[in-house]
Structure 1
Amino acid sequence: MKLSKKDVLEQCNTLCKNTLMETLEIEIIDFGDDFLVARMPVSSKNHQVDGVLHGGATFALAESVGSFASHIFIDVEKFFVRGIEMSGNHLKSVKDGYVFAKANFLHKGRTTQLLNIRVTDDDDNLISLCKLTTISLPKK
């Protein structure tokens, strides 16, 4: 029996319990053949001292959605995923609302994966642009 998209999203979000993703209130909201989308609320919990979204929280969102995308596209019975490099540029600040991270595969190899992650605000303004490299390693 094939699971519905709603059921898959529910399972994905259940996996995030008791993790940094839960702490930052990151929620997986959409996926397709080569992408995954998550959102995170922006509030004083993830602000810098001057009242805007902390870049570290933005990177946590980007790495979470990118690593999770790699994770759901591999055989998790045989492999696990780790992020090995991330870079990004913060282009605009956000004070409230939500930020959305969409991870798209640039390369989906058996061992390494390269993802482009666009972080946008409620009005689809580009907030940050990140690149993440992940590696799939065999479980022992």
Structure 2
Amino acid sequence: MKYTKQQVITKANQASKNTLMETLEIEFIDFGDDFLVSRMPVTPKVHQPDGVLHGGATAALAESVGSFAAILFSDQEKVMVRGLEITANHLKSVKSGFIYARATFIHKGRTTQLLDIRVTDEADNLISVCKLSTISLPKKK
């Protein structure tokens, strides 16, 4: 079944209720044939003690958008997706505003997937470069 962009975004945001994504105010905002985009506000809630964005919050944003992209582009009736490994290289700090994470596939296999997640600020400055590997496991009937 083919969903519209808005249906996918709405479904993704509804699935985030009562999860870490809701706690961090992560919101899915764009979707295409080979990408998913989310955003997260940068407020004191996600700061490290010196008042800039915590790298762990950035990694949580990246893993959230990457894992959800792997789910969207898989056979959701047959498999469940789990993260295997995430790396994050933080290049620039942010104190406020929004950061955006765009997940695209480097490898889209039946069992394993590798995603590139670019995190940018509102001025499109590169904040972090992340890589996420996921695995598709068969759902038990």
Segments of structure 2 that go 5 or more residues without pairing to the other structure are none
CA contact (8 A) 2:83 2:134 kept: yes
Residue 51 of structure 2 is matched in structure 1 by 51
Structure 1 residue 109 displacement after superposition: 0.6
Residue 120 of structure 1 is matched in structure 2 by 120
> Counterparts of 1:36 and 1:14 in 2: how far apart (Å)?
15
1:26-105 to structure 2, matched below 5 A, reads: 26-105=26-105
Give aligned-pair identity as a percent.
Answer: 71
Residue 11 of structure 1 is matched in structure 2 by 11
CA contact (8 A) 2:8 2:31 kept: no
Structure 1 residue 11 displacement after superposition: 1.2
Structure 1 residue 4 displacement after superposition: 2.7
- Matching of residue 23 in structure 1 with residue 23 in structure 2: yes
Q: Which amino acid in structure 2 is aligned with residue 31 of structure 1?
A: F
Structure 1 residue 2 displacement after superposition: 4.9
> Counterparts of 2:35 and 2:60 in 1: how far apart (Å)?
18
SS at match of 1:10: helix
> Counterparts of 1:105 and 1:3 in 2: how far apart (Å)?
20
Structure 1 residue 84 displacement after superposition: 0.3
Q: Which amino acid in structure 1 is aligned with residue 22 of structure 2?
A: E
Q: Which amino acid in structure 2 is aligned with residue 55 of structure 1?
A: G
CA-based RMSD of the aligned residues comes to 1.1
Q: Which amino acid in structure 1 is aligned with residue 110 of structure 2?
A: R
Q: Which amino acid in structure 1 is aligned with residue 117 of structure 2?
A: I
Structure 1 residue 69 displacement after superposition: 0.2
> Counterparts of 1:2 and 1:35 in 2: how far apart (Å)?
16
Segments of structure 1 that go 5 or more residues without pairing to the other structure are none
TM-score for the superposition, normalised by structure 2:
0.96
SS at match of 1:76: coil
SS at match of 1:120: strand
Provide the aligned length of Structure 1 versus Structure 2.
140
SS at match of 2:118: strand
SS at match of 1:132: strand
> Counterparts of 2:6 and 2:103 in 1: how far apart (Å)?
19
Structure 1 residue 3 displacement after superposition: 3.6
